Structure 1
């Protein structure tokens, strides 16, 4: 019943605003995997009649391609709505005065930590950074329990992470810098290099390397982790540092662009993405954890209530991400 009510509301808003839009369309840039984001956008098209023009990032340049495009288009805005796989890029755009504040009614029951205090971005459907491991290569007693365990000599040449210049790995590293400071964080990364960490091209490549036994374990996101567990019974998952700093929680975020050509249609899409119905779909398709209460999910999807989350300041982490880009580039290349 709630689904039909939402659809009716969307249709009413659409018919009331369509006369103010020259084109019955909305332009979306997204860093979320196309295999997961495209079906949601197609459903939106079917339910509202609003044509979606989507620009997707590639796996290897995740989160940086569309981000740089949005920055370059600041004075000639082509995009109406940015659907990001994490809050950090949204904060970068906010700091560059590219976003427009808007907090719809649906955002009010989402915890404040998962939305910008001024309404420049709103979070929904979250992933977490986790460790996956190959059970045929690592006994349960030998599985790392903390991210800092990965520097232990017994894991030399056996651990993989995605390239930290892109995607959620950049976010993860920036979060560590924002919590522990530059000295401890740089020492950690140096120790990883000394321990011959395997740098994969993407989170999906981390999943593949662990499944194929090229690495004993690796850091990735829960969507890739649960997909690996579905494909291979020998893959296990660990939420790291549950007795210490906790695991990094990564909500999707949605933002409106200033001076965009189809603002009203973008607001309709934003409401759609923030709905419980969309969170339920993402829980099924890619094991994402809803931020709304009362969303039905598959049994294997964990509740955020049962996970100790890393306590971070997304704004501070966004600033740190930009500060450490040159350092990370040197770390990868040397």
Structure 2
């Protein structure tokens, strides 16, 4: 899935993408929009097709790599700052969107489509917007973990009753795992959080390339349980795999479950700004959010759903979320990533 471009013009190689997009521009830009997205192609592509049908604007989508997720695209946008190739950035999380805003990559856009979103999901300056999201969950193999012995907390990664090599998480430098690490740092402080992840490393907990890898290893019995996203967990539930989903830390006095929203933003000095605005408006619309729920990308929408529509998994689940806000979590991202680099990569 490495940085592929889909649309009118097809890619030849990664190094040719900039030339490819330039060629596409030369053939007429009035009906095109370029979006960089960390959302899995299986979910994003139907959304783009719906937008194309509604607007007549062709979508050229650049997808990410599972192992590096949003970070790789953010670095690419940073490298292209002097000559932007993308119009829109659609992320499956929020920290890298805030990073790009801090770096001057995003354009201000006051969209009417933000009506009805929670205030915490709207940047006061109009540089980014958040909408429906996914929860960070524990996926348990029910053949390996007996009823009543399931983990109940993220801190059970340190519980001696579970051998470290039977547990897993995605690389904590990337994607929603990185966001979850930053959330723990914002909640517990740097020293306590660093010590927690040092113990995880010392226990030999498996660190793998992406949440979908955790999902597959749990479903296949290679792991007893692991941390992943609710969309990945739902995938295995629908397949009938021997798994159970635990929303961690829901008991009184526990920290709660992290729900991570999508974010979308316009790119400053983009080649197709008006088409970019149209795509942002669509992605933020109740219509698009409902479609993402139907597709299985979103389990926890930001707005009420149309009557008769509910997520395929976890409908009616009421979560006690973690208390830190999006901006507060982002403030701990750099410190958290520095520690994760030292602990897990060196």
TM-score by length of 1: 0.89
How many aligned positions are there? Answer: 313
Moved more, 282-291 or 218-227: 282-291
CA contact (8 A) 1:44 1:50 kept: yes
Question: 2:340 corresponds to which residue?
Answer: 328
- TM-superposed CA distance for 1:125, in Å, is 2.0
CA displacement, residues 244-283 of structure 1 (integer Å, 9 cap, x when unaligned): 2111111111101111121111111111111112111111
Structure 1 ranges of 4+ moved more than 4 A = none
The whole-number CA distance in structure 2 between the counterparts of 1:291 and 1:110 is 6
Is residue 292 from structure 1 mapped to residue 287 from structure 2 by the alignment?
A: no
Closer, same or farther in 2 for the Cα pair 1:299/1:55, shift >3 Å?
Answer: closer
The whole-number CA distance in structure 1 between the counterparts of 2:65 and 2:109 is 28
Question: 1:81 corresponds to which residue?
Answer: 88
CA contact (8 A) 1:152 1:195 kept: no
CA displacement, residues 202-259 of structure 1 (integer Å, 9 cap, x when unaligned): 1010011101111100000000000011113421001101122111111111101111
Question: 1:302 corresponds to which residue?
Answer: 315
The whole-number CA distance in structure 1 between the counterparts of 2:187 and 2:312 is 33
Pick the aligned partner of 1:118 from 93, 110, 125.
125
Secondary structure at the residue paired with 1:63?
A: helix
Q: Which has the larger helix fraction?
A: 1
The whole-number CA distance in structure 2 between the counterparts of 1:298 and 1:175 is 25
The whole-number CA distance in structure 2 between the counterparts of 1:209 and 1:22 is 44
Aligned Cα root-mean-square deviation (Å): 1.6
Question: 1:7 corresponds to which residue?
Answer: none
CA contact (8 A) 2:67 2:174 kept: yes
The whole-number CA distance in structure 2 between the counterparts of 1:47 and 1:105 is 18
Gaps of 5+ in 1: 1-20
Closer, same or farther in 2 for the Cα pair 1:300/1:325, shift >3 Å?
Answer: closer
- Structure 1 residues 106-145: aligned runs within 5 Å: 106-145=113-152
Secondary structure at the residue paired with 1:324?
A: helix
Pick the aligned partner of 1:251 from 215, 239, 261.
261
- TM-superposed CA distance for 1:110, in Å, is 0.8
Pick the aligned partner of 1:231 from 239, 242, 259.
239
The whole-number CA distance in structure 2 between the counterparts of 1:232 and 1:58 is 27
- Structure 1 residues 264-303: aligned runs within 5 Å: 264-288=274-298, 289-295=300-306, 296-298=309-311, 300-303=313-316
The whole-number CA distance in structure 1 between the counterparts of 2:226 and 2:147 is 15
The whole-number CA distance in structure 1 between the counterparts of 2:296 and 2:53 is 21
Pick the aligned partner of 1:211 from 212, 215, 219.
219
The whole-number CA distance in structure 1 between the counterparts of 2:202 and 2:147 is 25
Moved more, 138-147 or 293-302: 293-302
